[in-house]
C-alpha cells in the first residue's frame, strides 16, 4: 500500500513563512479532509505538493513510497502518481477535453516506456467513454474546449474526469466545492465517490462541512498557523460546523499569533 508522507514541511512565499512544520500522512484507500480558516496554509500545501515555482520549501520532505517529491519537477510528480484538482481550473481555448486527456495519458505512459508510440485513438475513445459513463457525463463533453465557457460545476467535473482517466495513486482536491451550487456539489461529489477505492488516497481541502456530507472522510485535520493542530474522525468536521474555528484558535493560540 502506497503512502504520501509530509514531514516537518516549511514553505515560504517571498519573505512570508506560510507552512511551519506541517506533518500529515495519507495512505491509499483513505480519504482525509483538511480544514481550517482562511490564511492557515491549505492551498499553499496543495500547490507545494505539485511543485508550484512560487512556493519555496525551506525545510522538511514529502515522500511518495520513499521517493522525495520535492526533488522532482511537477510532471514527474504527476507521473509518479500525484494529482491536483485546482480550485480555479484554467481554460485552454482550442484544446478539446479529449485531446488534452489523450496527451496526458501518453505523457504518463512514455514516462514508463520512452519508446511508447501513443494510445491508438479507438482504444482511447473506448477508455474515455467508460470513464464518462462511470461519472454519468454526456459524451459530447469530450469535444468541448477545456474549461472554455464552462460553468463552475462543469470545470470541476472536468477535473474529476481527468482524475478518473489518469488513475493516480493520490489526489489532492483543493476546495473542489468552491463556487458550486448544491446540485453541482452533489454531482461532483458523486464522481469522486465513484472513483474512491483501495488504489486511491484522497486529500480533500475544504472550508466547510457541506462537502463532507457527500464525500465521507475517514480522517479530518484542522490547520492553523501553517500546521495541523487537530486531527480526528468525521465528528471533528461536525464540531467545526457547530462551533466554528474560535475554539481551535483559543486552544492553539501559540500556533496563530496573528
CB count within 10 Å of CB 160 equals 24
Domain-by-domain residue ranges, the chain? 3-255
Query: Which whole number is the average pLDDT over 63-84?
Result: 95
Residue 1: predicted pLDDT: 82
Query: Which whole number is the average pLDDT over 37-49?
Result: 93
pLDDT higher than 90, residue 185: no
Residue 256: predicted pLDDT: 57
pLDDT higher than 80, residue 161: yes
**Whole-prediction pTM value?**
0.92
| 3-255 has CATH 3.30.465.10 classification | no
Residue 255: predicted pLDDT: 59
Query: Which whole number is the average pLDDT over 211-215?
Result: 89
pLDDT-above-90 percentage for the chain? 72
Residue 254: predicted pLDDT: 58
Q: What is the mean pLDDT of the chain?
A: 92
Residue 180 or residue 157, greater confidence: 157
Query: Which whole number is the average pLDDT over 50-77?
Result: 95
* Cβ atoms 226, 22 nearer than 8 A: yes
Amino acid at each position: 500500500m502506497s503512502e504520501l508522507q509530509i514531514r516537518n514541511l516549511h514553505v515560504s512565499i517571498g519573505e512570508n513563512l506560510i507552512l511551519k512544520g506541517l506533518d500529515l500522512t495519507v495512505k491509499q484507500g483513505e480519504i482525509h479532509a483538511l480544514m481550517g480558516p482562511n490564511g492557515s496554509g491549505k492551498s499553499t500545501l496543495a500547490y507545494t505538493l505539485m511543485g508550484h515555482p512560487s512556493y519555496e520549501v525551506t525545510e522538511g520532505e514529502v515522500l511518495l513510497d520513499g521517493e522525495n517529491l520535492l526533488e522532482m519537477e511537477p510532471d514527474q510528480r504527476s507521473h509518479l502518481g500525484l494529482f491536483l484538482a485546482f480550485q480555479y481550473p484554467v481554460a485552454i481555448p482550442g484544446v478539446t477535453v479529449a485531446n488534452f486527456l489523450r496527451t496526458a495519458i501518453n505523457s504518463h505512459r512514455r514516462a514508463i516506456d520512452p519508446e511508447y508510440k501513443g494510445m491508438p485513438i479507438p482504444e482511447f475513445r473506448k477508455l474515455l467513454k467508460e470513464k464518462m459513463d462511470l461519472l454519468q457525463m454526456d459524451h459530447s463533453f469530450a469535444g468541448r474546449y477545456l474549461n472554455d465557457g464552462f460553468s463552475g460545476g462543469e470545470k470541476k467535473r472536468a477535473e474529476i474526469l481527468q482524475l478518473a482517466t489518469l488513475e493516480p495513486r493520490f489526489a489532492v482536491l483543493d476546495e473542489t466545492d468552491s463556487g458550486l451550487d448544491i446540485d453541482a456539489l452533489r454531482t461532483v461529489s458523486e464522481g469522486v465517490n465513484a472513483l474512491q477505492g483501495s488504489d486511491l488516497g484522497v486529500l480533500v481541502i475544504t472550508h466547510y462541512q457541506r462537502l463532507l456530507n457527500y464525500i465521507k472522510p475517514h480522517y479530518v485535520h484542522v490547520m492553523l498557523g501553517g500546521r495541523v493542530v487537530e486531527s480526528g474522525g468525521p465528528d471533528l468536521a461536525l464540531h467545526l460546523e457547530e462551533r466554528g474555528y474560535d475554539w481551535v484558535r483559543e486552544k492553539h493560540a501559540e500556533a496563530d499569533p496573528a
